[in-house]
Structure 1
Amino acid sequence: MIQKILDVKNPKLRIKSKTISVIDKRIREIAKDLTDTISVQKDPEGVGLAAPQIGKNIRMFAMVYGKGIKIVINPKIVSAENTEILKKNNEPIMEGCLSILNYYGPLKRPQKVVLEYQNLDSEIKKTTFKGLSAQIVQHEVDHLNGILFTDILFKQKASLYKQKGEEWEEVELI
């Protein structure tokens, strides 16, 4: 079922999520909710959605991967390398968040990560993600730890931008 995405003011986004011990019917329903919700998100289009963003503080997220949506449970980043700002056509790719609509920033993140996680069949998987997929994984794992992309942006002393139509306006967060 499509769920409402919590916005930045909701304190649930700042809670460290709990490990999932059993993948049961309830967990499968939340996975379906994540999939349904990310699938209809079009303006802006979403590429990842963590369970806390729909009010569930458990360690699970959905991400666009290949031609489908991957469900990731109890993720653990086991290695990360090549920290830089992701670029396309020599321009930085601006990272944003469905919980902080229309705000973006150029984050330095490792461009290759190895992630250990469980799938919905309780199988333990280890996958290497590169480029945009690596950035999505890190963004969603941050959500599971109560961290927002703006927290990292400010630590890196990078600029925050608000999108107004086709233009970017640099803004300060108060």
Structure 2
Amino acid sequence: MIRKIVLSNDPILRKKAKPVSKIDKKVKDLIKDLKDTLSVQKNPEGVGLAAPQIGKNLSIFLAKDRDFERVIINPEILKIQKNTTKEKVDKRKKEILEGCLSIPFYYGPLKRAPKVTVKYLDESEKTITETFEGFRAQIILHEIDHLEGVLFIDHIISEGKTLYKVEGDEWEEVELL
């Protein structure tokens, strides 16, 4: 079922998600809802969706990009690669404009870790340990933030970055207080 995506002012987005204790029919239905809801997001288009974004405070998210799709339940970050000195020299290559379906049409440059190893359960309750790199690492870290009650704008504000609002082809800088 396609669900309504909750917006940034909804308190559920600021709560730490509860771990999933059992993958039962309710959880499988929720996973289907995440897939259905993400698949219809076209303006803006999304590459990930966490259960809190559709009003369910559970530690589940879907990450999807072209030939990549993962359902991730109860993720635990095992290892996170920080940027090396060489990578710090060329900051522009590592910053990606990040947005969020719960804050539609707002984007900001974020530099997340280029590589992350995560242990999680998949839909069949199999424990998986997987390393994600580049854009996929960015998606995974963004969605894990949702499970921790953190939004990408929190990083934009704490790092003193610029937030942009997009209307059609126009990009407008947003003043953050």
Name the TM-score class by shorter chain: over 0.9
User: How many pairs were matched up?
Assistant: 172
Q: Which has the higher helix share?
A: 2
The runs of 5 or more residues in structure 2 that have no matched partner are none
Partner of residue 159, structure 1 = 162
Partner of residue 24, structure 1 = 24
The answer to whether the 8 Å contact 1:35/1:69 transfers is no
Partner of residue 61, structure 2 = 61
The runs of 5 or more residues in structure 1 that have no matched partner are none
Q: What code does the residue aligned with 1:45 have?
A: E
List per-residue Cα deviations over 1:67-117 (Å, max 9, x = no partner). 2532100001111114379x9x95942100000011000012101000110
Q: TM-score normalised to the size of structure 2? A: 0.91
Quick one: percent identity of the two aligned structures? 49
| CA RMSD, Structure 1 to Structure 2 (Å) | 1.9
Q: State which of 90, 100, 105 in structure 2 corresponds to 1:102.
A: 105
Distance 2:58 2:171 in 1: 34
Runs of at least 4 residues of structure 1 off by over 6 A? none
Distance 1:27 1:116 in 2: 19
Q: TM-score normalised to the size of structure 1? A: 0.92
SS at match of 2:166: strand
Partner of residue 9, structure 1 = 9
Q: Which has the higher strand share?
A: 1
Q: What code does the residue aligned with 1:63 have?
A: A
Partner of residue 73, structure 1 = 73
